[in-house]
Amino acid sequence: MISHYTADRKIRSDDAYSPNNEPNKRPDCAATVYWQRCREAYSDVPIILGGIEGSLRRIAHYDYWSDKVRRSVLMDAKPDLLVYGNGELALIEIMYRLARGESIKNIVDMRGTAFILNKSNRHLKANFIEIASNDVDTIGLVDPIINPYVMTEDVADCDIEKQKFSQYTNFNKDIVKGIVVKAGDDLPDDT
């Protein structure tokens, strides 16, 4: 869809990812159409879906163009495996396992992958752990962000700033020392 339409639902005049920037060279639901063509040509080869469409459409999602919630691309495209997120390492691991002779149906234990549970692999559900989405992996200190626009003449003069930056032993106080611009000040033209 994004290859044909802008965010305002206007038809694109060109497609930056097609030869000679020609528009209308790619189908609307590319993952589904390409999957069908791959299955027709190579019915026995495992199909792994990934990229931005696989990542964003791996679960039920709101479709802006049709103004409704659509089901997962796993249900429409029916790939053997879906890789989402930063998939380079997952893809390498999948290729190694396939090269060793492991079936694509048995590659279900990798992080960053998704597949459809059906009658043949329903027994795998017992190995899954369901985690609430609001659980935090680890609770720990979050480093404060150093404000480059701190409104003080010198960090040493401000107890709050001094306390905040005391944990940074190599912090250069000269960064925040010097001229401070305040609202209403006239600035030189070369600024």
Q: Which pLDDT tens digit goes with each residue over 124-177? A: 777 777 777 777 667 777 777 777 776 655 555 566 666 666 666 555 555 555
What pLDDT is stored for residue 95 in this prediction?
A: 93
- Is the model's pTM score more than 0.75? no
Q: Which pLDDT tens digit goes with each residue over 24-61? A: 888 777 788 888 899 899 988 999 998 888 888 888 88
What pLDDT is stored for residue 189 in this prediction?
A: 66
Domain layout of the chain by residue ranges: 19-127, 136-185
With bands split at pLDDT 50, 70 and 90, how would you rate the model's confidence at 19?
Answer: confident
Please state the three-class secondary structure of 119-164 as a single string.
HHHHHHHHHCCCCCCCCCCCCCCCCCCCCCCCCCCCHHHCHHHHHH
Helix or strand or coil: residue 26? coil
